[in-house]
Amino acid sequence: MDPDAEIDHEGPVPVFRQLVEILRARIDRGDWQPNRPIPSEAQLVQTYGIARETVRKAIRVLVDDGVVFVVHGRGTFVSHPDIQGEQAD
Amino acid sequence: MDPDAEIDHEGPVPVFRQLVEILRARIDRGDWQPNRPIPSEAQLVQTYGIARETVRKAIRVLVDDGVVFVVHGRGTFVSHPDIQGEQAD
DNA sequence: ATAGATTTGTTCGTATGTATA
DNA sequence: GTATACATACGAACAAATCTA
């Protein structure tokens, strides 16, 4: 997925799925380093012109995949690479 | 109605009607006291494995019947017993 | 220690599209 | 055509945790 892709509100792919792939691609590209925060929910809302609920839905997927972790009141951070893809069975 | 009944997706009774009766039974049984919140819409969605719209439809019926009242951003609360069954004609 | 701003967490409000009976 | 049900999406209000000044 192109990390610089824009959200397509018309197509069949849900907006939150698109955001998941965009953020994943940006993390892969190194936009944000491990243990560093990605943009806040409010910033992602602005950047991509989508609703907060949709941003949070995408982040929930990335958390489940171990790509990022969230800290209440602080932000959402890129996980350590050595931990990714090791959970679940 | 059995307050511990489960939703039947096959039968002829609409899901939201079933939920109305289940919640009514649970309130009658005292699962939640007057002025105390019942589970959130999201929790009811999870507990009963149904869609949010369906939960809201059921709650709307209970509100119309004066069994519960809703506060935006806070939750849905059990009405005072002394008020129930007094409205409408 | 207080106050305010930032950020995530939780909750209800509304609307649209799709599918099914 | 109508009613039911689900998924998605955007809005709005309030709460809790964190940080800064």
For the full predicted model, state whether its pTM sits above 0.95. Answer: no
In chain C, which nucleotides are within 7 Å of a protein Cβ?
A: 6-16
Residues 41-60/A with CB within 7 Å of nucleic chain D are: 49-54, 57
Average pLDDT score over chain B = 89
CA distance B51 to B15: 10
The H-or-E segment that residue B15 falls in is helix B15-29
Instruction: List the A43 CA – D20 C1' distance (angstroms).
Output: 20
Domains annotated for chain A, with CATH where assigned, are 15-88 (1.10.10.10)
Instruction: List the B36 CA – C4 C1' distance (angstroms).
Output: 32
Q: What is the mean pLDDT of each successive set of 10 residues along chain A, which is 89 residues long?
A: 92 95 97 96 96 96 96 96 54
CA distance B54 to A62: 28
Q: Please state, as a whole number, how many other Cβ atoms lie within 10 Å of the Cβ of residue B70.
A: 14
Asked if residue A6 keeps its beta carbon closer than 7 A to nucleic acid strand D, the reply is no
